[in-house]
């Protein structure tokens, strides 16, 4: 399959997650226009860490990436775009076919084990991750309602990948998570990270609620 490549320095797209993007560079404006006139699909790939020195020559990207579809777009008066890309599935980049005016790559879809949503182990994982993420979302936003509205609508894969997208992780950590083949293994990798971030956030909120006995004293 030959498809346009959108290489980004600080973004990892996961399947079943939304990614808002502002398109301003001329070559990518051309690419988005062509994509919108076609099947609306493109590959989002993370640039490798040395991309700044090689950017003008076609920077190297990680070979494991995510195929996405433009679900909504707004064309601005100056020819720029606001778009929302939703991840479809993981892919491997086999090779580059074209470099100008934008990059085209050959990809292959990566097969992933389909989780059994009814199995006890998947239900346990989903409940544990979902419970932690609901608490994390409540503390982060100050609204329990936000978490209650989101959680019931998510299947196991969506939940795992939204948590991976949302957490404050390094871009290398997110790429590592994307490269994990089994969604259950990705979940297992996320749970201790989420627990740690939840502990930190809980502590922060406790300190925020501590009021000095005499506010007039410094």
Residue-wise DSSP of 161-183: HHHHHHS---HHHHHHHHH-S-H
Q: Indicate the pLDDT class of residue 51, thresholds 50, 70 and 90.
A: low
**In terms of DSSP bridges, do strands 41-46 and 2-8 run parallel, antiparallel, or are they unpaired?**
parallel
Looking at the structure, do residues 128 and 193 belong to the same domain, yes or no?
A: yes
| Interval 23-51 mean pLDDT | 93
Looking at the structure, do residues 18 and 75 belong to the same domain, yes or no?
A: yes
Looking at the structure, do residues 74 and 149 belong to the same domain, yes or no?
A: no
Give the residue from 109, 138, 154 where a domain finishes.
109
N-terminal to C-terminal alpha carbon distance within the chain: 65
Residue with more model confidence, 100 or 45: 45
Looking at the structure, do residues 10 and 92 belong to the same domain, yes or no?
A: yes
Give the residue from 109, 141, 156 where a domain finishes.
109
| Interval 154-178 mean pLDDT | 94
CA-based angle 203:204:207, to the nearest 5?
85
E strand map for 78-202: 81-98, 104-109
Looking at the structure, do residues 77 and 141 belong to the same domain, yes or no?
A: no
Report the CATH number at residue 40: 2.30.130.40
To the nearest whole percent, how much of the chain has pLDDT over 70? 87
| Interval 174-200 mean pLDDT | 95
Looking at the structure, do residues 144 and 72 belong to the same domain, yes or no?
A: no
**Residue 105 is assigned to a structural domain of this protein:** yes
Looking at the structure, do residues 103 and 17 belong to the same domain, yes or no?
A: yes
Looking at the structure, do residues 63 and 127 belong to the same domain, yes or no?
A: no
Looking at the structure, do residues 14 and 98 belong to the same domain, yes or no?
A: yes
**Residue 155 is assigned to a structural domain of this protein:** yes
Whether the per-residue pLDDT at 62 is higher than 60: the answer is yes
Whether the per-residue pLDDT at 82 is higher than 80: the answer is yes
- The predicted pLDDT at position 152 comes to 64
* Residue the block writes with tokens 């399947």: 15
pTM of the model: 0.87
Whether the per-residue pLDDT at 56 is higher than 50: the answer is no
Looking at the structure, do residues 68 and 33 belong to the same domain, yes or no?
A: yes
Q: Which domain holds residue 49?
A: 2-109
Give the residue from 82, 109, 136 where a domain finishes.
109
E strand map for the chain: 2-8, 18-23, 41-46, 64-75, 81-98, 104-109
Looking at the structure, do residues 163 and 82 belong to the same domain, yes or no?
A: no
C-beta of residue 178 within 8 angstroms of C-beta of residue 189: no
Task: Please give the tally of structural domains in the chain.
Answer: 2
Whether the per-residue pLDDT at 116 is higher than 90: the answer is no
Looking at the structure, do residues 157 and 135 belong to the same domain, yes or no?
A: yes
C-beta of residue 37 within 8 angstroms of C-beta of residue 4: no
**Residue 84 is assigned to a structural domain of this protein:** yes
Whether the per-residue pLDDT at 213 is higher than 80: the answer is no
Point out the least confidently predicted range of 5-19, 148-162, 166-180.
148-162
Q: Indicate the pLDDT class of residue 150, thresholds 50, 70 and 90.
A: low
């Amino acid at each position: 399959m030959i498809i346009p490549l959108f290489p980004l320095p600080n973004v990892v797209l996961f399947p079943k997650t939304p990614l808002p993007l502002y398109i301003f560079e001329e070559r990518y404006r051309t690419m988005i226009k062509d994509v919108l006139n076609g099947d609306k699909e493109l590959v989002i790939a993370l640039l490798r860490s040395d991309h700044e020195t090689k950017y003008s020559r076609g920077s190297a990207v990680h070979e494991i990436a995510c195929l996405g579809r433009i679900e909504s777009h707004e064309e601005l008066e100056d020819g720029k775009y606001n778009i929302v890309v939703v991840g479809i599935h993981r892919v491997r980049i086999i090779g580059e076919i074209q470099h100008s005016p934008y990059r085209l790559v050959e990809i292959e879809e990566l097969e992933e084990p389909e989780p059994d949503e009814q199995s006890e182990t998947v239900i346990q994982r989903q409940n544990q991750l979902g419970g932690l993420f609901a608490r994390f979302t409540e503390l982060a936003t100050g609204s329990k309602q936000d978490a209650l509205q989101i959680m019931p609508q998510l299947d196991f894969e969506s939940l795992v990948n939204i948590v991976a997208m949302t957490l404050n992780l390094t871009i290398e950590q997110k790429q590592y998570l994307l490269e994990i083949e089994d969604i259950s293994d990705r979940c297992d990798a996320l749970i201790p990270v989420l627990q740690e971030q939840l502990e930190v956030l809980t502590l922060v909120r406790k300190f925020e609620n501590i009021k000095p006995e005499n506010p007039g004293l410094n």
